[in-house]
Amino acid sequence: MIYTPGEAPNHICLLDRVDKVLFCGDILVHGSVWTHLEGGSMIDLISSYRRLMTYYDYFEYLMPSHNEPYLGKKLLPESLEGSEKVFNGQAKYHEITDPWGRQLRQYIFKNFDILTLAKDDN
């Protein structure tokens, strides 16, 4: 079990070293990574991606919780790079409103996007 907050404060990933699969839940997906809900944090997300990079040689595939069931591991360094650009103000965003009326910033990258609150990216 690897503690990986960012989208939620209690998020974890599970590493299967035998089959070389990282069960990554919601923080590595082809789709939106949410940091805008209560307990979400860009700082924690970046720390979690960095922590997962220390295990990078132990897995070949990612098993996210939704969208696509099996992804290549290169999504991890891409996600780390993208989240660092968001945090450092180097990424462009679109202002959107979600179905519940929350004002968000959507940072779109090639294989994923990151959603943050419009008022606070940290």
Output the pTM of the full model.
Answer: 0.93
- Return the higher-pLDDT residue of 38 and 23: 23
Can you give the pLDDT at residue 112?
97
Q: How far apart are the two ends of the chain, measured CA to CA in Å?
A: 25
Examine residue 107 and state whether it is found in any structural domain, yes or no. yes
Residue 122 lies in a domain: no
H/E segment holding residue 65: none
Q: Which of 67, 66, 76 is nearest to 22 (CA)?
A: 76
- Number of domains the chain is built from: 1
Domain of residue 32, residue span? 2-117
Categorize the per-residue pLDDT at 119 as very low, low, confident or very high, splitting at 50, 70 and 90.
Answer: confident
pLDDT tier for residue 69 given thresholds of 50, 70 and 90: confident
For the domain that residue 95 is a member of, what is the CATH number? 3.60.15.10
Query: What is d(CA 17, CA 115) in angstroms, rounded to the nearest whole number?
Result: 31
Mean pLDDT for the chain overall: 94
User: Tokens in use for 2?
Assistant: 């690897």
Q: For residue 106, what pLDDT is reported?
A: 97
**Which whole number is the average pLDDT over 54-77?**
94
Find tokens 């990554």 and name the residue: 24
| pLDDT tens for each residue of 71-91 | 999 999 999 999 999 999 999
